[in-house]
Chains A and B, each alone.
Chain A
């Protein structure tokens, strides 16, 4: 057994203290023959510190495309030659999407907009949309609207938004290679305001942007410092027309190593499968990740791309005897 896994068994599984950056790097560098042991340990950590429940979430794009920012992975940037056109979802369709999500047993519904930050029109749409969902659907509403002002944070709290997603996307040292129109620190400032407001913080990122293994470890350590309630873990799905459109997808074993390492860095967080797992891991890898530290999934489609049918993921959870977290348990 590699020394790092022995150390992690005592420190993370035994005491609930996450690995530091050097420890995460050691896990990310484990040879293939030790990957099953790393995943097994990460699973034990998840079961001990989080429990067997899996949190299920659906997401929808309220405002698609035409974003002024230049996140190099994103097909919704208006600065690239992506085929994604700008479109707004109306309130009835938003409520219908929330109903579809709730019908899967999901407890979370995240409303997302491709913006630098919300303007008055978007905040008005959010206010009306959240109210309409809360009147019609028994589900928790989360939001992801880019960078916020303090007034907007307060407004979202007042609307009843219980969790806010704002991904750091990658580590601080690599961020300028991925985004040039705003800084990592600006994102951090929004996360700070969200935390102080009492909303739950949801913050993760994307692996496969060209970062080194060392930078993946740096990212895990920075997320652990933030201590978010939830970490969505995406794997790059290279989008046509974006600067990262020709990058290769993350190799499946590297993705699984990252899942185990991020779990060992953050034993108590909700670690969610987000975009790209279909390409990177396929069906078998999806199962391996759920047995290697993942305890939450996005079901159904993503914002501009398609996911596995919700019933395929729910059947997998049933096969693995992992109960879907009930709404009553989150309220």
Chain B
């Protein structure tokens, strides 16, 4: 039987994926600018450091709890 219930929403970003600090008080403009030239390093949902692999045409970042992101 097919499950037609909506997929669970991604957890809201609680942490900056560049510096790992809280974004409760708002985004980090310097980190956002730096991210143009960097992959994420921290899971925005749980603040775990992610395993990041950069390749010539992209990157992948894996959180053991929240899975993989690609860019």
Contact = CB atoms under 8 A, between A and B. Distances in A.
B55 A87 contact: no
A85 B19 contact: no
A308 to B, nearest CB: 9
Interface residues of B, number: 20
B56 A310 contact: yes
Contacts of A302: 54
A234 interface: no
B49 A83 contact: yes
A240 B19 contact: yes
Question: Secondary structure of the B side of the interface?
Answer: mixed
Contact of B53 (A93, A100, A310): A93
A87 B51 CA distance: 6
A320 B19 CA distance: 39
Nearest to B31: A240
Nearest to A279: B37
Interface of A: 58-61, 64, 83-85, 87, 89, 93, 96-97, 100-101, 104, 237, 240, 278-279, 299-307, 310
Interface of B: 18-20, 36-39, 41-42, 49-59
The 6 A-B pairs at the shortest CB distance, nearest first, are namely: A300-B56, A83-B41, A58-B56, A100-B57, A97-B55, A87-B51
21 contacts: A60-B55, A60-B56, A64-B53, A85-B50, A87-B51, A96-B55, A97-B55, A97-B56, A100-B56, A100-B57, A101-B56, A104-B56, A237-B37, A240-B19, A279-B37, A300-B56, A301-B59, A303-B54, A305-B37, A306-B36, A307-B37
